[in-house]
Amino acid sequence: YLANKGKHRHFMEKEIYEQPEAIGHVLAHYVSLIENRADAVPIFDFASIPSLTISACGTAYLAGLIGKYWFERYARLTVEIDVASEFRYREIPLSPQSAALFISQSGETADTLASLRYCKKLGLKIGAIVNAAESSIAREADAVFPILAGPEIGVASTKAFTCQLAVLAALAISAARTRGTITENEVQALVRSLAEMPRIMGQVLNSIQPKIELLARELSKYHDVLYLGRGTSFPLAMEGALKLKEISYIHAEGYAAGELKHGPIALIDKNMPVIVIAPFDRFFNKTVSNMEEVAARGGRVILVTDEKGATASRLDTMHTIVLPAVDEIIAPMIFSLPIQLLAYHTAVFMGTDVDQPRNLAKSVTVE
Ligand code: G6P
């Protein structure tokens, strides 16, 4: 595998294009877990835990943040989440009746492992969402939830991120069913939405590349980029910014759209494009009004939306990337694709070492 990029220029590109297959693979595993009904995750006893704790680093942390929205919304479960380097020292008053999830592609990240050990000592039930099944984090957990993404070589995480999301979505649905917070019909509808992902991902990957390359050529001329989103699109905005800065070295920030007024709006001018991630969901109109605030100050907007959103918004954007309209639960995974490809192609235009960006490591095993 190591030597083989297939027809792709970089492992990162290969791994982006592997996502429909990887997601199909992980879903096959977890949908049957959901369909096996109430005891999908017996170790966690989702019906009685008072709260859930999540900790991770980097991209895995941002996947956890999206997971938090799902556990809260569908399973009515309070979620405490932090980056592992803070989590391990915060002296959080955690209940031993509670459960904790640690997310790590490598399963070897030092801070995440230390957070796991901290929770284990306090008596919490430990779950690990990992790619490397033979890793330290997997070994020390009470329950392992493999993401089954296959080897990820590119330092910037892509398919591991969407596979982590698929596992978190499945666990949130399973928790919701166990806790009786959604109906059986809602469970079935969510499972049907998840099952559509491989097909929709394939369709998106087959169609958006020319548009993304055009946009990436332009983006590569800027020094600063702001990403905005609301709801689950907020962590995705942070992931978009992280991906871009990691591999293109362009300074980028991801912000909650509603926080625009509380700071970043002071930076808006024609030199800082604003990438707005806005599927046509219940937040769309609010996010569009943030977009209008950007446009009114001479800012350049790049809108990433779906067919319904593109019809509904009349704003004159610098670019609009239009994806198929999809159910809310799968939007973060589908919208990850243009975000990843944009960072990738921008870095290719800048001529950076995409798979081995300067100063970064695939796995951070020291504190
Ligand atoms: C490094 C990698 C990131 C990754 C993070 C956490 O920073 O470059 O891609 O998200 O570590 O790694 P883990 O293996 O724990 O997911």
Residue 333: closest CA among 86, 159, 146: 159
pTM of the model: 0.96
Instruction: Walk across the sheet containing 319-323 and list its strands.
Output: 251-256, 224-229, 274-277, 301-306, 319-323
**From its phi and psi, is residue 39 left (phi > 0), alpha (psi between -120 and 50) or beta?**
alpha
Indicate the top mutation candidate among 59, 102, 108, 129 to test ligand 1's pocket, ranked by most ligand atoms within 8 A of CB.
Answer: 59
Indicate the top mutation candidate among 340, 363, 367 to test ligand 1's pocket, ranked by most ligand atoms within 8 A of CB.
Answer: 363
Residues at CB less than 6 angstroms from ligand 1: 57-60, 104-106, 109, 112, 155-157, 360, 362-364
Distance CA 220, CA 353 (A): 15
Residue 143's pLDDT is 93
Task: Give the helix/strand (H/E) hosting 146.
Answer: strand 143-146
Residue 175's pLDDT is 93
Q: Low-confidence residues of the chain, pLDDT below 50?
A: none
Ligand 1 atom with least separation from CA of 160: 16
Residue 32's pLDDT is 77
Q: Annotated active-site positions, please? A: 362
Token duo for residue 8:
């792709």
**Ligand 1 centroid from CA 282, angstroms:** 31
Ligand 1 atom with least separation from CA of 246: 8
Distance CA 311, CA 26 (A): 33
Ligand 1 atom with least separation from CA of 161: 10
